[in-house]
Every structure is written in C-alpha cells, then in structure tokens.
Amino acid sequence: MVPPLNGIQHFTPPSARELRAQAVQRLQAGLFGIALIVLIVALANIINDRARQSDAASPGAEASASATGEAKTDPLVDAGVVPASTPEKPASPAPSGNPHN
C-alpha cells in the first residue's frame, strides 16, 4: 500500500536537458520508422523484379499450359455458385421445313 503524501506537491517543469533528450528520442524513433518503411518497400521491389525476370526467362511454361488443351475454367462456375457464361452443350439447330401435324 502506498503511504499518503505529506505536504503540498509542486510540479517541476523538465529542464532544457530533459526536453532535448526527449526530442532526440522522438527524432530517432521517427527516422528509424521511415528507414524501416523504405527497407520494406525496397525488398518488395526486389522480389517483384525477380518474379518478372523469372516469368520473362521461361516463356515455355505458358506455352505448355496452353498446349495441353485445358480450357480455362471459372472456379465459381465449377463450385456451382454462378451459372456458366457459355453453355456446356451447344444447342441443336431448330428443324426447318414443314411441321408435321
């Protein structure tokens, strides 16, 4: 338990040295944060550039995927969430000529 305070307590403002130390600490934290953000953005840029280079270096992967004959399908259509935009079976043409009654 904390003992009660005796007498009047006065506020003492921080000295110039303490104010300067606080300002330097805030400045260091801000600069460190900015440097961290720049580092993260640079790392993401490097990863993105390497991914583009590897995609450009291997054009055979895309050609082999299209050569297999698999049509690109919509996963929502496969799951039955939305109807197919193109009919799966082509409609048979209507018979022409005279109707038989």
What does the pLDDT look like over 8-30, one tens digit per residue?
888 899 999 999 999 999 999 99
- The token duo for 71 is 């049509």
SS3 sequence of 65-90: HHHCCCCCCCHHHHHCCCCCCCCCCC
Tens-level pLDDT at each residue, the chain (101 residues): 877 878 888 889 999 999 999 999 999 999 999 999 999 999 999 999 999 999 888 876 555 555 555 567 788 888 888 887 776 665 666 666 666 65
